[in-house]
Chain A
């Protein structure tokens, strides 16, 4: 590689590292491209518009939850023990789904039930925020406790049963189309644009990155660190609430096991950092990562490879990607 860079870069380790970073990023894109190309050639029906839409629809829920996790990463840092992570996001969506379905079946008007679901998600997010900001509990632990509470409440509300629900709105979400694109995909598109503007193109987003990147510096610069952390967790709760409505529309029911999305969500949000220039969490990176995870599972299915392999390949992929980036990242002096 140094042969390509020439003497200009050789005297500066900064340059070399930037080049390595570029290499890793391009490599990550190239790897994804090659894998998708392979599927396109060898997996029959992979490129059909029906299949592509199907994958996107399947990925919507994972992506929404991963957005929540990404915003928490941005606003509170990715350091695992001290920084922020929201372990409760998936369980939170499960609880919001249970709230939604139960209220709907009690005869509450649908808009109110949807609001209640989103409110339930945000309330759990607020609880996370209180635990982290006010009580100064380590985020990993605070969100772990909230996760337990959310799972327990979900079990209590649903009595460990699948609770069905149907309405015109849910059917519309499930089967509706507009300009040839399904309603679920529209939700993802609109929400992605909204989050991207909020995080990447607004002063607010800049402050969020500042607080997550270096809290002490942000505090010294006069930013309200606590507010931004509250915001991150409540936003994550909002994502969970919306995801809950989407889950219910896809399955026509609130089912247990939404909490199992936690690890794929974590993986998508962490994997997404590879697609940014400085290996920080970004909305675009998370979107690519979670869509890729969806395409991977789908391609395997079409190739007839046992689904038992999928999580192993995902794990190997995480390790590969992270090992590559760790060589390109600046050394940590921490």
Chain B
């Protein structure tokens, strides 16, 4: 009897480390099978180019998922911010104004979500789905059906270099922006009263309601924070590729959801955390990078990532619930 109990406990404990095991396994496999996977240059490349943007969007998604919602409109915030930024630059306004207006535009998307959820009492999933549809129309109308805005002339390159190519203490500035965002979200979720509201909303919405938490109001705030983070990602994305490509932000949506939920496998009670989400993003990025290095094409990478996510989740959820 005692024996059985012990083995179940160890299985359950094991399930909390699945992400770490997967991480270790991936690193070992790829460093053996490729020459330069573990090289500093490659890791730098992965972090600077692949991790930062997805990580910032995923941090926003983490706040929303922690509160029990899903934000399907992250791509809209990313794109609207880039669109505003580039439109103002092209119209001859200063970069500071452009960045500020881009962030405000993303904030407006979040406020619109908040209005729908708080005032019109629309379910968050549906509200953000509606915003996703509207956002795609807005972008098509603004760009004449989806023509990218490209600003490659000399005039603009110092601005973009300053935003995405500059370095601070040996690391690219987007990485520092990510660090800043991570700390902010960590403080928000784990050190502030608002974070407690978010946690109870996510774990037991009924309890939150009866404990006097103004549920729609607190829930709607979550979407404003998320939109702001997406706005930052939008500015970084557009300055990195030096053009605004309509609807390009939608690519983040599913990866951000995936990364956040992979991160939940790290904690005992399967709650989203900042560290977990960053791990999730990094796991997806190094997996993709490793598959690329061993020569899998983009199609097989897609399959590989899907299988990885599936297996990690199956192990983490499957092992844990056995014990019930």
- Chain A interface (Cβ < 8 Å from any Cβ of B): 80-81, 131, 134-138, 140-142, 144-153, 155-156, 159-160, 263, 266-267, 270, 306, 308-316, 318-319, 322-323, 326-327, 333-334
B141 touches A315 (CB 8 A): no
8 smallest CB-CB distances across A and B, nearest first, come from A312-B137, A315-B133, A152-B302, A148-B306, A152-B303, A149-B306, A155-B299, A308-B140
Q: Flag if A149 contacts B130 (CB, 8 Å).
A: no
Residue of A at shortest CB range from B258?
A144
Q: Mark B298-324, 1 if CB is under 8 A from A, else 0.
A: 111111111101100110011001000
CB of A263 within 8 A of CB of B129, answer yes
Most A Cβ at <10 Å: residue of B206, B299, B304, B307: B299
By beta carbon, the residue of chain B nearest A313 is: B137
Of the candidates A153, A156, A263, which one forms a contact with B133 in the assembled complex, judged by CB atoms under 8 Å apart? A263
- Decide: B136 and A311 in contact? CB cutoff 8 A: yes
Which residues in A have their C-beta under 8 angstroms from that of B209?
Answer: 333-334
**Stretch from B118-126, B157-165, B182-190, B228-236 forming part of the interface with A:** B118-126
Contact of B313 among A145, A333, A334 (CB under 8 A): A145
* Given A136-B317, A270-B129, A308-B140, CB of A315 within 8 Å of CB of B303: no
Judging by beta carbons under 8 Å apart, are A137 and B129 in contact? no
- A144-B258, A145-B310, A319-B127 are known contacts. Are A135 and B303 too (CB-CB below 8 A)? no
Q: Would B127 and A136 count as touching, CB distance under 8 A?
A: no
A308 & B145 in contact (Cβ 8 Å cutoff): yes
Q: Are A148 and B120 in contact (CB under 8 A)?
A: no
Known: A140-B257, A149-B306. A266 touches B314 (CB 8 A): no
Given contacts A141-B257, A310-B137, A311-B136, contact A146 B130 (CB under 8 A): no
Given A144-B257, A152-B300, A160-B299, the answer on whether A318 and B133 have CB atoms closer than 8 Å is yes
Q: Contacts A141-B261, A315-B133, A327-B121 given; indicate if A156 touches B313 (C-beta within 8 A).
A: no
Residues of B within 8 A of A155 (CB): 298-299, 302
- Mask for B69-83, Cβ within 8 A of A = 1, else 0? 110000000000000
Is B137 within 8 A of A308, CB to CB? yes
Bound complex: CA of A319 vs CA of B121, how far in Å? 10
Counting chain A CB atoms within 10 Å of each CB, the highest count among B140, B300, B303, B310 belongs to B310
Structural contact, A312 and B134, CB atoms closer than 8 A: yes
Can you name the residue of chain B whose Cβ is closest to the Cβ of A87?
Answer: B254
Q: Looking at chain B, what size class is its interface with the partner chain? A: 35 or more
With known contacts A144-B257, A146-B310, A316-B134, A326–B125 Cβ distance under 8 A = no
Please indicate which of the listed interface residues B68, B135, B140, B300 has the most CB atoms of chain A within 10 Å of its own CB: B140
Number of A-B contacts (CB under 8 A): 153
| Chain A neighbourhood of B317, CB < 8 A | 135-138
Q: Say whether B306 contacts A318, CB under 8 Å.
A: no
Additional pairs, 10, CB under 8 Å, beyond known A135-B313, A159-B299, A311-B140: A149-B302, A152-B304, A263-B129, A310-B137, A311-B133, A314-B133, A315-B133, A315-B135, A327-B121, A333-B209
B100: Cβ under 8 A from any A Cβ: no
Q: Is B138 at the interface (CB under 8 A from chain A)? A: yes
Residue of B nearest to A264 (CB): B133
Which residue of B123, B137, B298, B300 is within 8 Å of A315 (Cβ)? B137
Collect the chain A residues with CB atoms within 8 Å of residue B306's CB: 145-152
21 sampled A-B residue pairs with Cβ under 8 A: A81-B68, A135-B313, A135-B314, A137-B317, A140-B257, A144-B257, A145-B258, A145-B313, A151-B302, A151-B306, A152-B305, A155-B302, A263-B132, A308-B140, A309-B137, A311-B137, A318-B133, A319-B127, A322-B123, A322-B130, A327-B121
Query: Are B123 and A326 interface neighbours, CB within 8 A?
Result: yes
Interchain CB contact under 8 A, B70 and A148: no
A181 to B302, CA, bound (A): 41
Closest beta carbon of chain B to A98's beta carbon, Å: 11
Of B125, B132, B206, B321, which one neighbours A80 at CB under 8 angstroms? B125
Residue ID in chain A nearest B137 by CB atoms: A312
- A127 to B242 Cα, complex, angstroms: 41
Contact A148 B305 (CB under 8 A): yes
Inter-chain contact A267/B129, CB cutoff 8 Å? yes
Q: Mark B275-306, 1 if CB is under 8 A from A, else 0.
A: 00000000000000000000000111111111
Check A149–B310 contact: CB distance below 8 A. yes
B172 close to chain A: CB less than 8 A = no
Give the CA-CA distance A314 to B137 in the complex, in Å. 10
Asked whether A326 and B298 contact (CB < 8 A) given A137-B313, A318-B133, the answer is no
B19 at the interface (CB under 8 A from A): no
- Which residue of chain A has the shortest Cβ distance to B311 in the bound complex? A145
Q: Are A312 and B318 in contact (CB under 8 A)?
A: no
Interface members, chain B 95-140 (any A CB < 8 Å): 116, 120-127, 129-138, 140
Query: For A313, what are the chain B residues with a Cβ–Cβ distance below 8 Å?
Result: 137
Residues of B within 8 A of A137 (CB): 313-314, 317-318
Q: Are B206 and A334 in contact (CB under 8 A)?
A: yes
Is the Cβ of B301 less than 8 Å from the Cβ of A152?
yes
Residues of A within 8 A of B254 (CB): 144, 147-148
Given A138-B261, A140-B257, do A149 and B137 touch, yes or no (CB 8 Å)? no
B138 close to A312 (CB less than 8 A): yes
| Cβ 8 A contact of A134, one of B116, B138, B318 | B318
Residues of A within 8 A of B135 (CB): 315
Residues on A with beta carbons closer than 8 Å to the beta carbon of B301? 152
Q: Which residue of chain A lies nearest to B206 when distances are taken between CB atoms in the complex? A: A334
In the complex, chain A residues whose CB is within 8 Å of the CB of B257: 140-141, 144
Which residues 161-201 of B sit at the A interface, judged by CB distance below 8 A? none
Expressed in whole angstroms, the Cα–Cα distance for A153 and B302 within the complex equals 8
Question: Smallest distance from the beta carbon of B210 to chain A beta carbons, Å?
Answer: 8
Chain A residues with CB under 8 Å of B133's CB are 263, 267, 311-312, 314-316, 318
In the complex, A306→B314 CA distance in Å?
45
Q: Which residues of chain B are within 8 angstroms of A159 by Cβ–Cβ distance? A: 299
Complex CA distance for A306 and B304, rounded to whole angstroms: 40
Chain A nearest CB from B319 CB (Å) reads: 9
